[in-house]
């Protein structure tokens, strides 16, 4: 479970999710001409081309465009719909048996037929390989897979899991050709064979080239002649410069807030207008409290902390308003979101209430606390953000807080060892369901490693919501969970990210590539 927090976390300030919009998307296909090929620049790495291994944003971008899943998330939607499957659903009134019927005559990009054998092989392979950086945690509830015929797949789950459709609609559900992949080992040749809208023509350290898959049958309508993905390995200045030069049509994941602001309304070297547009995101950031720490482990300290943090000032001054204040663990746009921390602690510093919380617990001196950060993972703005929080605490006269920042490898080791009292963590969801913002943090195998357990949450709310196929019916339960967390304060929600698009020329359709599903849809981008 820990791999999700590490591998799927995207630094907001160091590399905002960016897409550039210069108008509304058209409905007609872009055709297959080289002139309609789109060049996308990204500062993230693509760490894997094998779906049994990659769990990072760059790899999932590749998976979502090259491979097909039984289900997929529609643009702007958070409820999965059949894709490689013709239909899917739970059987018998429970959330333990899930049956899918495949579309007829599916083929991989190499021309091989895609049948239920490939689906079974793909899931069993990912589970068996159990890569540390793979999607195994999302598939943990699969008990067995049956294939009664070439078009039918039946998943028998170990326990009720109503979020299973969302899990397999993510990159974790990528279907591979059983003839092209080793059941016991990972590919390391940079090749990929899927049945998605695109095929991977070549992959190097600096570039991935995608062309249209003529064998594709699914929900997507391709509106361009292919995509070239240029990888900038964290070099934000070079990405911005190449966008200005016209060498890149779209900048995605990699420009800072200041760079975005500077590009808005500018023109490229060939006099094409550059536009920036804002999109939604379910990326969040929290401050985490170690419940066994001698200082942060005290409830009164955590509550006093919650009374003093000014989120509006943080997103305004540190992130140039490229984020929104977050007042609960489930972000806006995800079913079940509430504002439990706003209701409990307000949206402005309240020193008097913070003092009362401390004094009622017999704490009379200044609370000494170190806030731990890692700029190598979350970007330099995170250090600035924590410094601002420390100042807010110290200005109250109740705290003596400081900030320390270390390299990410050391940071994670120290968290695992329980050395930190308060530390920052970010989260990019695997699928847009409230379960993905709660179960990893408060269920078995807590990925935050902060020693928090609430028996009402772990023993009742999480199991009950996991079994509820009607996800709308879970809202009251998730509201209860969020309220409990606001009372216990094992973590403090800080902000919810925004996504941005920056593009020049006649690029359209980018408004459909960024939403809470975290799927960047190459096929929606059109070059006029």
**Alpha-carbon gap, residue 406 to 290, rounded angstroms:** 18
Strands 507-508, 526-527: pairing is: antiparallel
Strand partners, 211: 199
Strand partners, 367: 399
Nearest CA-CA partner of 191 in 51, 348, 34: 51
Q: Specify the residue for token string 């953000």.
A: 385
Helix (H) or strand (E) holding 145: strand 142-149
Nearest CA-CA partner of 469 in 162, 238, 201: 162
| 60-88 per-position pLDDT tens digit | 999 999 999 999 999 888 899 999 999 99
What spatial distance separates the first Cα and last Cα of the chain, rounded to whole Å? 43
257: tokens are 């807030």
Nearest CA-CA partner of 477 in 466, 493, 488: 466
Taking each continuous run of H as one helix and of E as one strand, the counts in the chain are 17, 22
461: tokens are 């709310």
3-state secondary structure 66-83: HCCCCEECCCCCCCCEEC
397: tokens are 């006269």
What sign does the CA torsion over 255, 261, 264, 269 have? negative
- pTM attached to this predicted model: 0.85
Q: What phi, psi does 69 have (nearest 5°)?
A: -115, 165
Strands 422-427, 491-497: pairing is: unpaired
| DSSP category for residue 507 | E
Residue 264 confidence (pLDDT): 74
> Which residues of the chain fall below pLDDT 70?
1-33, 254, 505
Residue 108 confidence (pLDDT): 98
Helix (H) or strand (E) holding 399: strand 399-405
Residue 83 confidence (pLDDT): 97
Residues 6 or more apart from 190 whose CB is under 8 A from it? 49, 202, 203, 204
Burial label for 190, CB within 10 Å (0-12, 13-18, 19+), is middle
Residues 6 or more apart from 449 whose CB is under 8 A from it? 2, 415, 416, 418
Residue 33 confidence (pLDDT): 65
């Amino acid at each position: 479970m820990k791999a999700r927090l590490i591998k799927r976390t995207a630094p907001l300030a160091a590399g905002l999710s960016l897409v550039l919009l210069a108008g509304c998307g058209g409905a007609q296909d872009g055709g297959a001409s080289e002139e309609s090929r789109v060049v996308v620049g990204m500062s993230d790495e693509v760490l894997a081309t094998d779906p049994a291994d990659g769990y990072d944003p760059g790899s999932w971008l590749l998976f979502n465009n090259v491979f097909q899943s039984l289900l997929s998330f529609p643009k702007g939607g958070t409820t999965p719909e059949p894709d490689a499957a013709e239909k899917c659903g739970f059987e018998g009134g429970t959330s333990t048996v899930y049956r899918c019927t495949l579309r007829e005559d599916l083929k991989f990009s190499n021309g091989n037929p895609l049948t239920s054998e490939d689906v079974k092989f793909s899931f069993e392979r990912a589970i068996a390989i159990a890569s540390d950086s793979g999607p195994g945690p999302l598939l943990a509830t699969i008990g067995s897979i049956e294939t009664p015929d070439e078009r039918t797949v039946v998943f028998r789950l170990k326990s009720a899991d109503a979020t299973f459709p969302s899990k397999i609609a993510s990159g974790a559900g990528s279907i591979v050709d059983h003839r092209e992949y080793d059941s016991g080992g990972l590919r390391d040749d940079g090749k990929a064979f899927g049945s998605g809208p695109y095929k991977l023509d070549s992959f190097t350290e600096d570039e991935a080239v995608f062309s249209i898959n003529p064998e594709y049958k699914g929900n997507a309508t391709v509106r361009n002649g292919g995509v070239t993905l240029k990888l900038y390995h964290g070099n934000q200045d070079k990405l911005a410069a190449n966008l200005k030069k016209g060498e890149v049509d779209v900048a995605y994941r990699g420009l800072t807030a200041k760079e975005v602001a500077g590009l808005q309304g500018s023109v490229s070297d060939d006099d094409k207008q550059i536009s920036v547009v804002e999109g939604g995101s379910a990326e969040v950031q929290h401050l985490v409290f170690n419940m066994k720490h001698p200082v942060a482990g005290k409830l009164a300290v955590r509550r006093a902390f919650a009374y003093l943090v000014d989120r509006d000032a943080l997103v305004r001054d540190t992130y140039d308003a490229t984020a929104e204040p977050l007042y609960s663990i489930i972000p806006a746009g995800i079913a079940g979101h509430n504002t439990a921390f706003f209701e409990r602690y307000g949206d402005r510093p309240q020193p008097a209430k913070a003092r009362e919380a401390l004094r009622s617990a017999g704490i009379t001196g200044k609370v000494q606390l170190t806030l731990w950060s890692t700029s190598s993972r979350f970007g330099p703005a995170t250090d600035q953000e924590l410094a601002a929080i420390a100042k807010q605490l110290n200005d109250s006269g109740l705290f003596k807080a400081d900030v320390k920042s270390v390299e990410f490898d050391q940071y994670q080791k120290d968290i695992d060892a329980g050395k930190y009292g308060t530390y920052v963590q970010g989260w990019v969801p695997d699928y847009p369901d409230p379960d993905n913002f709660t179960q990893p943090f408060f269920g078995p195998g807590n990925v935050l490693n902060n020693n928090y357990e609430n028996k009402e949450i772990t023993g009742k709310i999480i199991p009950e919501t996991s079994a509820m196929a009607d996800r709308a019916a879970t809202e009251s339960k998730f509201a209860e969970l969020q309220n409990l967390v606001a009372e216990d304060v094992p973590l403090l929600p800080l902000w919810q990210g925004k996504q941005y698009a920056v593009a020049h020329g006649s690029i359209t359709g980018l408004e459909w590539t960024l939403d809470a599903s975290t799927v960047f849809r190459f096929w929606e981008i059109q070059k006029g």
